[in-house]
């Protein structure tokens, strides 16, 4: 953002997506690579690191705790300090807009010998943190926040943590990861039991760093071990690829390949949902990179139809629902989403934000406490609010591909948190998106 000027996107109607794209590295994995690399023993070399504001905030946080980090583009070298080698930061740790960083680091910092304070931007300071505070208190950690259980989070160091068995009240990879990271410092076993499968990047990466993970009824580890640094190749982010997958489905004549995308089975909900809607997707060149399954994805223009999204797929596609609801708007028939109450407490209330935008573009939809109903129809042009949510902003830029007029999206500054190269790649692929500053 420049001075007091607001960054808007203006997306021209129509277009065809063609060619081959490479999207930036996975945000979730980039966070975890810095976090675990910082407390490992030895050096960790990361390739494909996402250079977004969220992940750079995590990098800066560990640098403030004495971790030497070298970065050249998307290659990062982390000189680990070991599980007990971090130094007290000089002041509060500012994590910007990143809920992932805040929740995961709360678990890690609960086991340190020093006190710490976590803060963030205006949006992050309103997001719920009781979900991590509660299990950490059960582990004998001390984490205090505001009266509403939001940041700033004050984490007391020097506590003697104990392992617990924790059934998650709601499926959440962030809470699971927070508890497991605290478990590295706890006496005995720590086990997390999930009501639904969630993304498993933390478990995979812990194993990649040489830490034993046990999977029976839940995910368990024993505290007191060590992490060994090594090499991590971060795949392309499926959440970023989702904008182009949906765009190619709804734009007539499109044929697009997105290379090197992470297709972990705990993150592939967007592929399952699009295929159930009739999308023409082909995965090829399957391989393993950094312990994660990777593939190239080819997508062609498709006649989508509305579906009732199976609730068990919801945790596997949580970040992709803004653009999936755009797909629903361009589909024939009705799409029903339920069991997605977690969308209410993301960077925005995404149920309200997406429904508001779709209705402004002529689509009939209804909201529910845990989801929404979208009636496919003809998208018009118009002006929508992003509610300063990066994924909402990008989703409505994609909507212009099926719209009859230009789509203006207000307040798009936060796209830089996860996908700073979005506009450039979008225009390269065949969208026409212009950045405009407005007062």
> Could you give the residue numbers annotated as active site?
319
What is the rounded end-to-end Cα distance, in angstroms, of the chain? 11
Give the C-alpha distances (Å, rounded to integers) separating 100 from 30, 53, 150, 172. Answer: 11, 13, 14, 11
Contacts of 385 (CB under 8 A, 6+ apart): 353, 356, 357, 409, 410, 411
- 159 dihedral zone (left: phi>0; alpha: psi -120 to 50; beta): beta
Please state, in angstroms and rounded to a whole number, the distance separating the CA atoms of residues 247 and 378.
15
What does R_g of the chain's alpha carbons equal in angstroms? 21
Q: Are 23 and 261 in contact (CB under 8 A)?
A: yes
Q: What is the DSSP string of 183-211?
A: HTTSBSEEEEE-SS----HHHHHHHHTT-
Give the DSSP letter of residue 369: T
Please state, in angstroms and rounded to a whole number, the distance separating the CA atoms of residues 35 and 24.
19
To which residue do tokens 């099926």 refer? 402
Burial of 91 (0-12, 13-18, 19+ CB in 10 A): exposed
Please state, in angstroms and rounded to a whole number, the distance separating the CA atoms of residues 294 and 284.
9
Of 428, 436, 362, nearest to 16 by C-alpha is: 428
Contacts of 103 (CB under 8 A, 6+ apart): 129, 131, 132, 174, 175, 177, 178
Q: What is the DSSP string of 396-431?
A: HHHHGGGBSS-EEEE--GGGGGT-TTHHHHHHHHT-
- 390 dihedral zone (left: phi>0; alpha: psi -120 to 50; beta): alpha
* Sheet strands (E) in 6-160: 6-11, 18-21, 43-47, 68-72, 75-79, 93-94, 116-119, 143-144, 153-155
């Amino acid at each position: 953002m420049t001075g007091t000027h607001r960054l808007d996107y203006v997306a021209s109607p129509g277009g065809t997506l063609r060619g081959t794209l490479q999207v930036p590295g996975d945000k979730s994995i980039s966070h975890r690579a810095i976090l675990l690399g910082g407390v490992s023993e030895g050096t960790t070399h990361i390739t494909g690191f996402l250079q977004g504001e969220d992940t750079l905030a995590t990098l800066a946080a560990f640098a403030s705790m004495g971790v030497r980090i070298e970065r050249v583009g998307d290659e990062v070298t982390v000189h680990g300090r070991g599980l007990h080698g971090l130094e007290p930061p000089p002041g509060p740790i500012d994590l910007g807009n990143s809920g992932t960083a805040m929740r995961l680091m709360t678990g890690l910092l609960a086991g340190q010998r020093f006190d710490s304070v976590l803060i963030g931007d205006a949006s992050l300071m309103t997001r719920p943190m009781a979900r991590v505070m509660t299990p950490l208190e059960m582990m004998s950690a001390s984490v205090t926040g505001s009266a509403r259980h939001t940041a700033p989070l004050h984490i007391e160091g020097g506590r003697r943590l104990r392992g617990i068995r924790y059934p998650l009240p709601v499926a959440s990879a962030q809470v699971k990861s927070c508890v497991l990271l605290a478990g590295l410092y706890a006496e005995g076993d720590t086990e997390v039991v999930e009501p639904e499968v969630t993304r498993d990047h933390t478990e995979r990466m812990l194993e990649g760093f040489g830490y034993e993970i046990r999977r029976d009824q839940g995910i368990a580890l024993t505290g007191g071990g060590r992490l060994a640094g090594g090499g991590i190749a971060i795949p392309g982010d499926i959440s970023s690829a989702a904008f182009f997958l949906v765009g190619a489905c709804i734009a007539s004549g499109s044929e697009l390949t997105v290379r090197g995308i992470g297709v972990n089975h705990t993150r592939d909900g967007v592929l399952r949902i699009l295929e159930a809607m009739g999308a023409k997707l082909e995965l090829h060149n399957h391989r393993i990179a950094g312990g994660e399954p990777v593939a190239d994805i080819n997508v062609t223009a498709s006649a989508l139809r509305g579906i009732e999204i199976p609730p068990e797929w919801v945790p596997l596609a949580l970040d992709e629902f803004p653009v999936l609801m755009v797909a629903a708007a361009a589909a024939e028939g009705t799409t029903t989403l339920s069991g997605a109450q977690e969308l209410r407490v993301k960077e925005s209330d995404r149920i309200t934000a997406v429904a508001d935008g779709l209705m402004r573009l002529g689509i009939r939809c209804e909201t529910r406490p845990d989801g929404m109903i979208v009636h496919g129809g003809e998208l018009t042009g118009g002006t929508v609010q992003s509610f300063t949510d990066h994924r909402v902003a990008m989703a409505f830029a994609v909507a212009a591909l099926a719209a009859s007029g230009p789509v203006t999206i207000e307040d798009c500054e936060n796209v830089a948190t996860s996908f700073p190269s979005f506009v450039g790649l979008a225009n390269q692929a065949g969208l026409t998106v212009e950045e405009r500053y407005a007062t």
